[in-house]
Structure 1
């Protein structure tokens, strides 16, 4: 790719405000419903069939299953965009599905089927557009003004949290004072406004055409050639590994089907592994073993495809390893809207304190507003103060270094959350204000991981794979919630429950310390891999 020198006088593309405005409203709509979902379900007729003592656990399962869907459907959106419709059309059409999902939540607050249909449509719509809006924003830049892309990506992430802040702060109050129809209806209105703003910029956008499957040297074509090509005197071990992944995925789905459809108990297959868990495990097997198999035989694709295409596939496989190592972070992060909200409800709101804003913050669910508020403060703090200070002392905060440290900070946040839980378990009156500290550390970790990853994922992907690679990035949240569902299923096992009881600590406290340790192990593995990762530059030429 020819390199064009960045122009110092280059200006931010004038269509960027439409994309950022759309994202601010869309994020309000998403977080507005997401952050009240658990507390609504715990007390709603939707879960009336569940014994009251088990409702919190079931509500968490529903929440994380929803999150899995949200971050699974980017695969579909990325594929449709790259192969058929392009980013603009795909975003617009999925946004309309998104609006329909919000309407279902507002209309069917007392109907399990109607409400779950709404959750499915929101997961489909939100997930379908999720990888595309970010990469569509990146498409508006060239080599001449790519130095402004970081500002746009930071601004993009800042507006996400601007919308999320007001949604997190206000929607619990609307749910409390006006009921679920209003609380779920307002996010629906914001999603309609988001779609309208995006449509307004239609004549100004740069639209990179879809590949329509016509690229003979695409990622999937090169990967297929690598797996199927034969080398004289050599077997096809990579194909066997990839085939094993397919068989393993099919076996998992078959185990679930035998139990769910026919009531047949399958040895060594847990009964608690419902469809969402099984499908995610099957997808993970396909990606892991398929990627290993392609990597083993990738050099066989040379000669059948240009060296640049083969090297591009190698780069994508390396990116997937980076992505996989961030999944533990998301298992911690997404629980702030489930586990931390439930913990907060057992704490005391310090209304008597002179510094507590009692006129506004009235319940535990509103503490989630700290996350976007802190992000809006931390992004400029990092860019203007922290990163320059680190560079002055000789430490370059590269994207991979930032992401590794972000995972570690999330672990520290969960240690503090665990200590708070121990205080709650002791029967001592515990102020809700203490949750400020884990929120601060988790948010700092999020800025280092997620805000950085938007820039990292776009710059590392080749032109034909930008939509799909962004979809794989968002898929990390799917597997993050999978870790949570697997852990929740494990603690229903009598043996595990007995071991937790033997520690003398509550199940909640043990799980919090477990997830903290999980994050520290992941941070160490991430740091080890990052030392050998070769960075790429795949912005398009002017």
Structure 2
């Protein structure tokens, strides 16, 4: 066997270091994430009136999620422009470890604990867009056919770690306290960093591009926006500039209100804190920049290759698809906040012979259903459901799957709302009933999340795939933004009086509200999907 054939027949020796790093990091992340809401309500927020703790806990949790999915922009930029993937992953991992240490050390100190959450969001988000692509860097044309094995291992590692973290960490929090419960994920993150560092001499390190691609997404967009037509006009640039002015004005209004004291001047909503304001400003920038670029994109032809211009057009179209999935994430991420709080009001059916009392003893552990079901549903869909649909003459295209996934997630919240109505009526409700909304939500997840990556890959050209991944992570950021906006709205007396007039509790009303939000998004998604021009940007054989 030749040396080339031998290399093609085996996985790169450095890959196990990256897989080991991913396994420990994912257990670390989900371990702390899945006990965050119970800890906040039961320990850190005891200073607040009992009726307000759940709302504050949801604000903290979803602000954290926003950070986790915003900071991939920073990590990807630093890696591409300056430091490369290896150095960026290593340094952000050290920040990640410091964040875990602060959670364990400052369990009773809000400033210290929130600083730890910020560092974890920064570290986790910073490495998120890099690890998978770093794996791809280790393969060559000779053994690229083995890369799928590694990516499958990544997928199973994520869900395997999430499953056991969801089961074990609530038990550790209850039995040993927050220092141990938050300390163990910190130890695992330290091990993850050590494993990654141990492979340093074997990694293939692709040097950073340092922004030197003249036909990158942002260079093409800049050319389009700054090029005048025959009359010297640039309406697209006006739209983009208006977005910048509006975004800056929003941040300034927040800053003025914060300096003067919230609610003092009335120039910005009292409950719209920095996180909400910054996310809204980012959304305005993306929307105005996208619309402005789309208006003038053809002006970039001639100064950039047609393929680069067409790629930017494809990205702008994909952004609309992504925007319509953000309501799904507002529902999905609340399984670790709203559903955990609902489950705490339910009765654990220890008396039932079929209930695994030795393992599942409290509501937070129900989150383990999600990764378990993901591992079961994806192969079931691919091997059973989708082939059956094709035999019936129905082709489950990527866009159809995503649209149905959003709608099914809305159905899961209808079921959660019905459970809440029973709780509000004083009924003793078994925690086992939460299994049904978890099944529906997870089915929605595998139809939306897994399919969206496949869809984006096929629609974006090779040069634009990195940009697409950065925007994909932002869908979770804006999903949590909708939750924060809703939480802020229900602190308004006018809104709460309207909710009271429906005869529903605030919790039940919001559950049905989010279900309706998903159904509306699914309808809009279906309308856009009907006229979306599908592309095929897979590499030629």
Partner of 1:514: 513
Which of 246, 249, 253 is matched with 1:248 structurally?
Answer: 246
Query: 1 or 2 for the larger relative contact order (CA 8 Å, sep ≥6)?
Result: 1
16-25 or 117-126: bigger deviation: 16-25
Cα distance in 2 for residues equivalent to 1:374 and 1:454 = 19
Could you list the per-position Cα deviations for residues 38-60 of structure 1 after superposition, in whole angstroms to 9, with x for gaps in the alignment?
1111121x324322221111111
| Deviation of the 1:155 alpha carbon | 3.7
Equivalent runs, 1:232-381 vs 2, <5 Å: 232-233=230-231, 235-263=233-261, 265-267=264-266, 269-381=268-380
Does the alignment pair 1:425 with 2:424?
Answer: yes
125-134 or 171-180: bigger deviation: 125-134
Cα distance in 1 for residues equivalent to 2:330 and 2:173 = 26
Cα distance in 2 for residues equivalent to 1:222 and 1:343 = 48
Partner of 1:497: 496
Root-mean-square deviation (CA), in Å?
Answer: 2.4
Could you list the per-position Cα deviations for residues 178-237 of structure 1 after superposition, in whole angstroms to 9, with x for gaps in the alignment?
011110011111112222333344455554432201112111111111111011025211
The residue matched to 1:131 in structure 2 has which SS?
Answer: coil
| Deviation of the 1:360 alpha carbon | 1.2
Does the alignment pair 1:171 with 2:172?
Answer: no
| Deviation of the 1:161 alpha carbon | 0.9
Cα distance in 2 for residues equivalent to 1:201 and 1:473 = 29
8 Å CA contact retained: 1:70, 1:123: yes
8 Å CA contact retained: 2:221, 2:293: yes
8 Å CA contact retained: 2:81, 2:209: yes
Cα distance in 2 for residues equivalent to 1:405 and 1:283 = 28
Distance 1:454 1:25, change over 3 A: farther
Equivalent runs, 1:387-466 vs 2, <5 Å: 387-466=386-465
| Deviation of the 1:541 alpha carbon | 8.2
Distance 1:300 1:221, change over 3 A: same
Partner of 1:81: 79
8 Å CA contact retained: 1:107, 1:181: yes
Cα distance in 2 for residues equivalent to 1:480 and 1:313 = 24
| Deviation of the 1:409 alpha carbon | 1.1
Distance 1:422 1:149, change over 3 A: farther
Cα distance in 2 for residues equivalent to 1:306 and 1:356 = 62
Q: Please, which runs of 5 or more residues in structure 1 have no aligned partner?
A: 1-6
Distance 1:79 1:335, change over 3 A: same
Cα distance in 1 for residues equivalent to 2:443 and 2:202 = 35
Could you list the per-position Cα deviations for residues 39-83 of structure 1 after superposition, in whole angstroms to 9, with x for gaps in the alignment?
111121x32432222111111111111111111101101111222
8 Å CA contact retained: 1:299, 1:310: yes
Distance 1:487 1:150, change over 3 A: farther
| Deviation of the 1:25 alpha carbon | 1.7
Cα distance in 1 for residues equivalent to 2:146 and 2:401 = 20
Cα distance in 2 for residues equivalent to 1:130 and 1:395 = 36
Equivalent runs, 1:12-23 vs 2, <5 Å: 13-14=11-12, 16-23=15-22
The residue matched to 2:94 in structure 1 has which SS?
Answer: helix
| Deviation of the 1:275 alpha carbon | 0.3
Cα distance in 2 for residues equivalent to 1:145 and 1:453 = 26
Could you list the per-position Cα deviations for residues 498-538 of structure 1 after superposition, in whole angstroms to 9, with x for gaps in the alignment?
11101101011110011011111111222222333344555
Cα distance in 2 for residues equivalent to 1:205 and 1:540 = 25
Cα distance in 1 for residues equivalent to 2:338 and 2:357 = 23
The residue matched to 1:303 in structure 2 has which SS?
Answer: coil
280-289 or 137-146: bigger deviation: 137-146
8 Å CA contact retained: 1:491, 1:497: yes
TM norm structure 1? 0.93
8 Å CA contact retained: 2:253, 2:267: no
The residue matched to 2:28 in structure 1 has which SS?
Answer: helix
Partner of 1:61: 59
The residue matched to 2:302 in structure 1 has which SS?
Answer: coil
8 Å CA contact retained: 2:217, 2:467: no
Q: Please, which runs of 5 or more residues in structure 2 have no aligned partner?
A: none
8 Å CA contact retained: 1:23, 1:156: yes
Distance 1:399 1:195, change over 3 A: farther
8 Å CA contact retained: 2:417, 2:508: yes
Cα distance in 1 for residues equivalent to 2:86 and 2:460 = 19
8 Å CA contact retained: 2:94, 2:193: yes
Cα distance in 2 for residues equivalent to 1:13 and 1:193 = 23
8 Å CA contact retained: 2:257, 2:268: no
Which of 95, 98, 109 is matched with 1:97 structurally?
Answer: 95
Cα distance in 1 for residues equivalent to 2:444 and 2:494 = 34
Does the alignment pair 1:126 with 2:109?
Answer: no
Distance 1:23 1:357, change over 3 A: same
| Deviation of the 1:118 alpha carbon | 0.7
